[in-house]
Amino acid sequence: MKPEFNLSTPVQFLKSVGPARTRALTRLGIETIGHLLEHFPHRYHDRSQVVPLGKLKADREVTVAGEVLTASERRLRRGGSLQTVTVGDNTGIVFCVWFNQRYVLKQFRPGLKVMLSGRPARRAGRWQLAHPDFELLSGPDAEGAKGEQNLNLNTGRLVPVYGLTSGVGQHWLRSLVWQALEKLEAAGTRAIVDPLPRALRSERGLKPLGQALRDIHFPATERDRVAARKSLVYRELFAIQLLMAMRRAHRLRQPGLTLARPGDLTRRLVEALPFALTGAQRRVLKEILADLRSGVTMNRLLQGDVGSGKTLVAFLAALFVIEQGYQAVLLAPTEVLARQHGQTLQDLAGPLDVTCEVLTGSTVSAERRAILAGVMAGEVDLLVGTHAVIQEDVRIPRLALAVVDEQHRFGVRQRWRSARSGEDVGQSHVLVMSATPIPRSLSLTLYGDLDLSLIDELPPGRQPIVTRVTEENGEDGVWEYCRRQMNAGQQVYVIHPVIEETEGQDLKAAVTEFERLSSTVFPEHRIGLLHGKLHGKEKQATMGAFARGELDLLVATTVVEVGLDVPNATEMVIHNPERFGLAQLHQLRGRVGRGRHASTCWLICPADLPPETRERIHFFADHLDGFDLAEEDLRRRGPGDAWGVRQHGVPGFHLANPLTDTHLLGLCQADARAFLARDPDLTTTEGRALAEGLSTAFEKAFPGGGGPG
Ligand code: ADP
Ligand code: MG
């Protein structure tokens, strides 16, 4: 039987929690004792060192202890009242002052022992503490409030600092948390069931859950706090990793198509290429082909910075399945990109006698029907399209490989599942490509159920892109430089942000810029305009012309953000870069620097940027590596905003910090996989305890069915 007081007991059960406070606590997400104890301090005051009053120094917060000598009050001429309490120890005296806090006089009776924390200042030759935090250590009040012990929650120790809301004060919350911890302790060991297996706990040096909860709120020492935090972070991450490991284990039990017959298409293509594959490309291709041969369904994430040559790897994998009589699809996030991939792949596929078709929202219906019939009949080997088009009614009878060029658009993970629809094939293989590097901790979390391949090398001969920040008055210089480049045969992108809410105006800015550039700045050059409101055909025509070098300059919105590959373009001019995130800027900049020529990215900023924004822009200018930028993005915006963690339905990090707890995350992944290997269905005693104990974590993490699969 569960003790009456446990983690699921409602907070109303605690003393001093009435209806108003219950409502206030609900605003903090606190309804049960468990919630209350998961409301972790976001920092601590270190008030563990008590300083003698004779040793005060100005400006750093100190904690002092002593006896109340006097307590008095006077009215101020400008209104209000001032309370003064003097406290002394055997080395000196300090004057404590409050403004309009009449209750102070009732509490500070002369003779009481008190402890105070505050910032000392020298006033009229005396030490003064203004509005110190305090704790009464003896006397009727202290005992009345907290029982027999000399309890000190607010000074003289590491003091927790909580997030608050109106109606919930710091002191009150501290005593409430304390009360909950005391009651749990009184209820005995079964009040807190630790779901983590004992062996794992001791192997990783983790405290039992009850101890960890006590120490995270009221640590006796900094060491205890660190150990408690590690213990709780481990549990948090282990829950996620166990779920991911279950999904992965579930997948590994699905038989996949075994594609073992070796052919020579892949080799023939590689030999025909005008360049050699990079070492990284060869390595990841090997990993992918090993999956395809293994007889187990592949679910692999292919990560690589912009321009690292992911498309080619995907195509080689597709050829491998095609030459064994199967079909492949490649899904792109935008129409423009689907068209481009289609073009590239058709160029590569033609000489190999492989049929590749492109299907997008602007494919006319007669053509669409013809393509789908070809797919159905198995005449089309490779189908390229946008997510939106592929999923509806498309049947790909011999589908063996789906490649999702997800780029950095998250939230689409679930959708490709429906792309598989063949009846006569087993589970088809899935390769997800991500263009934006994801910090390792996040990819372990978001994609913990996938296997990871990393292209960590750019093709040789690329010159680093130079990034220059300039203000609007420096524009003429930028145009002058671009003119020289265009005259030398290079091409230029000019980007205007279009943010949806204000699309009308923003779009006008892009159109106006197009008119201004074509009529006054570069009347002698060929200029195109590309934005999302154009029809598919117009987009294709403009993109095609730019790719073939028939346009010198392309004014565009962020439709060019992802994937476009025009190696002859060397200049990227970005207006209002402050309106883009780092990942987006990185994508945009990745459109240049794809050939052998030196490239420049120009950022044209308004003059009056806030310092923090300016700093972000300069950080971007100074860093070319996608992983560096990704980590910075994470640092600045947190995992929820920067990485669409929420769209994924994966819990935000609670106590864990995705930047600093990466090591622990790696351990958790290994431990979770190892545990499942021994107990795949969580049926042992320990497994059942885990399943039950973590099920609340799962519910929060994956609302609406968090089971494997
Ligand atoms: P990603 O999709 O990873 O951003 P792409 O697949 O678009 O990159 O490749 C970028 C460019 O590099 C393309 O023009 C491609 O043809 C070229 N490329 C790919 N692999 C190599 C290689 N090994 N050597 C030289 N160029 C390459
Ligand atoms: Mg790409």
Give the separation between CA 64 and CA 115, rounded to whole angstroms. 6
408 or 476: whose pLDDT is higher?
A: 476
Distance CA 313, CA 284 (A): 8
Give per-residue pLDDT as tens, 188-245: 877 888 889 999 999 999 999 999 999 999 999 999 999 999 999 999 889 888 888 8
Q: What integer is the mean pLDDT of 559-564? A: 67
Residue entry with tokens 């346009």:
551
Instruction: Transcribe 306-322 into DSSP letters.
Output: TTS-HHHHHHHHHHHHH
Taking only the tens place, the pLDDT of each residue in 639-696 is: 655 555 555 545 556 788 777 788 888 899 899 989 999 998 889 988 988 888 776 6
Q: What is the pLDDT of residue 500?
A: 58
Q: Which residue has the tokens 């005995």?
A: 188
Alpha helices by DSSP H, 490-581: 503-516, 536-547
Residue nearest to atom 12 of ligand 1 (CA): 309
What SS3 state is found at 219? coil
Q: pLDDT band at 256, cuts 50/70/90? A: confident
The answer on pLDDT for 425 being more than 50 is no
State the pLDDT at residue 168. 92
Ligand nearest to the backbone CA of 337: 2
Which ligand is located closest to the Cα atom of residue 569? Answer: 1
* pLDDT reported for residue 142: 47
Residue 526, judged by CB atoms within 10 A of its CB (0-12, 13-18, 19+), counts as middle
To test the ligand 1 pocket, which listed residue (302, 312, 384) has its Cβ within 8 A of the most ligand atoms? 312
Confidence of residue 561 (pLDDT cuts 50, 70, 90): low
As a whole number, the mean pLDDT across the chain is 84
Name beta bridge partners: 134: 116
Over residues 526-542, the pLDDT tens digits come to 999 988 788 878 888 88
- CA–centroid distance, 310 to ligand 2, in Å, is 6
pLDDT score of 396 more than 90 = no
- Give the pLDDT confidence score for residue 249 in this predicted structure: 83
Tokens of 529: 């305009």
**Atom number, ligand 1, closest to the C-alpha of residue 312:** 6
Cα separation, 605 vs 607, in Å, equals 6
pLDDT of residue 689: 86
- Residue 304 CA: nearest ligand 1 atom is 3
Question: What was the pLDDT predicted at 653?
Answer: 67
Mean of pLDDT values over 91-114: 91
Task: Assess whether pLDDT exceeds 60 at residue 489.
Answer: yes
| CA of 281, closest atom in ligand 1 | 23
Q: What is the DSSP string of 67-80?
A: EEEEEEEEE-TTSS
- Best residue among 270, 271, 273, 275 to mutate for probing ligand 1's pocket (most ligand atoms within 8 Å of CB) is 275
Report residue 382: phi and psi, to 5°: -130, 125
Give the mean model confidence (pLDDT) for residues 316-337.
Answer: 89
Q: How many residues does the chain have?
A: 709
For ligand 1, atom 15: residue with the closest CA: 309
3-state secondary structure of 43: strand
List pocket residues of ligand 1, CB cut-off 6 Å: 275, 277-278, 281, 304, 306-312, 435, 459, 563, 565, 567, 594
In the prediction, which pLDDT does 81 show? 93
pLDDT score of 226: 94
Burial (0-12, 13-18, 19+ Cβ within 10 Å), 417: exposed
| pLDDT reported for residue 409 | 52
Integer angstrom CA distances of residue 245 from 252, 254, 285, 406:
10, 14, 24, 22
- The pLDDT of residue 146 is 45
Q: What is the mean pLDDT of residues 333-357?
A: 86
Q: Which of 32-46, 254-268, 659-673 is modeled with the greatest confidence? A: 32-46
- Tokens 């006008």 belong to residue: 508
Q: Return the pLDDT at 408.
A: 52
- Kindly state the average pLDDT of the residues 427-452: 78
For the cut 90, the answer to whether the pLDDT of residue 483 exceeds it is yes
**Residues 168-194, mean pLDDT to the nearest whole number:** 90
Phi and psi at residue 50, to the nearest 5°:
-90, 125
Whole-prediction pTM value? 0.71
| H/E stretch holding 288 | helix 279-294
CA of 482 to the centre of ligand 1 (A): 25
| Residue 92, φ and ψ in degrees, nearest 5 | 175, -175
Q: Is the pLDDT of residue 709 over 60?
A: no
Which of the ligands is closest to the CA of residue 311? 1
Query: Which residue would you say has higher pLDDT here, 259 or 144?
Result: 259
Distance 79 CA to ligand 1 centre (A): 74
Ligand 1 centroid, distance to 480 Cα (angstroms): 30
